[in-house]
Amino acid sequence: MTCKVTVQKNTFSESLAIVGRAVGSHSNLPILSNILLSKDEDQLRLSATDLTVGVTVWMDANLDGDLGLTLPAKTLTDVINSLTDPEVVFSVNGKPEASLKCGTYKGIVKGIDASEFPTIPEYPITNGVSMDASMFKEMIQKVAFAASMDDTRPVLTGVLMSMDGKTVSMVGTDGFRLAICKAILPDQFAKKQLIIPASALKEVMRILNATKTARITLVLPTNGSQVVFRCENVQIVSQLIDGKFPDYQAILPKGYKTRTVIATADLLKACKQASIIAREGSNVVRFHLQPGPNQTGKVRLLAESDETGASEIELDATIEGQELEIAFNVKFMQDALEVISTKSVVIETNAHNTPATIRPAGKQDAYWCVLMPMHLDGN
């Protein structure tokens, strides 16, 4: 199989960056460290996979002949990024290697035969659900951080995505915190629930950032074990997680005894300051919620560590209800605050040993995060 390919260096570099993150790191499967280069009609197709997520990019190129080989992602990307002329020419002549030319540069990158590369399925996008890309990206950003990184309970490493009529929701939880985001779709869709790996959704978010596309299409193939995302010239195929997602509705607080409204930026800054001491003591920070007259009040963040010392930060807030001291993992509180864009945040609590709800002020049902409290000595 012989082929000569001419590509624009910058486009090639950008495309390699998109597929490169899907490259696997399986030392026992060297082929997964490679990118598959093939001809698809009159375009160059680049594909990579770690066997959970597969990414394919189609790009314009001048192809003379048939193409099918895999090249090591890191070597190829580093070589292309080092070149300065606008056009790259590479040729393949029967062997699993590519001869590259660009300006004064000549080189050979050795690869592996394309027949060893896993098949990444392609699906038509005609039956897909089209969504606003910025909305979808925001939903991922607001829930994926709460998914577990621990593979012992695979279902918690995923995000539950539900579609019902015109409502789409995403839920992520690691058993200690829970994030829920809801949005309205322009069209009615059949009721569906799927658990998508949080790592796959983070890749989708990264690709949406890179491509600046306006729409994303979600396709559910009939085999039921995969989900496909398509945006412009990029396709992401991910395995779905099989299993039963926890009944998160059961732990959602039904009311509150103390309601605190506080400036988001001030509380986030205080959490970052408190975490310096708290990180030496399991990230525990005590939050003292103290109501004052006419719904004024104070929030005090107290951190202590036998090794590093102590800190106390006091903030003004609007507080109604009972005085309360409750402890949280300050890193989890910080994660929740960092995805809230409103000026103020609402924290609703009941007792030192029951979950608290954090949500943007003024946006009742669009987003909320539930944090499990940490144990306080003496309680």
Residues of the chain with pLDDT under 50: none
Per-residue model confidence (pLDDT) at position 26? 67
Per-residue model confidence (pLDDT) at position 221? 82
For the chain, what are the domain ranges? 2-116, 129-177+186-248, 252-371
CATH number of 129-177+186-248: 3.10.150.10
CATH number of 2-116: 3.10.150.10
Per-residue model confidence (pLDDT) at position 271? 98
Question: Which residues, including other chains, have CB under 8 Å from residue 164's CB and lie 6 or more apart?
Answer: 189, 191, 192
> Per DSSP, what are the bridge partners of residue 54?
49, 237
Per-residue model confidence (pLDDT) at position 365? 72
Angle (nearest 5°) at CA 162 between 156 and 163: 165
pLDDT tens for each residue of 186-215: 777 788 899 999 999 999 999 998 888 899
pLDDT tens for each residue of 117-139: 999 887 777 778 889 999 999 99
H helix or E strand, kind and range, residue 209: helix 198-211
CA distance 46 to 60: 11
At the fourth CATH level, which superfamily is domain 252-371?
Answer: DNA Polymerase III, subunit A, domain 2 (3.10.150.10)
Q: Amino acid identity of 19? A: V
Per-residue model confidence (pLDDT) at position 314? 98
3-state DSSP call for residue 149?
Answer: coil
Per-residue model confidence (pLDDT) at position 32? 94
Select from 303, 305, 318 the least CA-distant residue to 266: 318
Decide whether 2-116 matches 129-177+186-248 in CATH topology. yes
Q: What DSSP string describes 234-292?
A: EEEEEEPPPS----GGGGS----SEEEEEEHHHHHHHHHHHHHHHTTTTTEEEEEEEE-
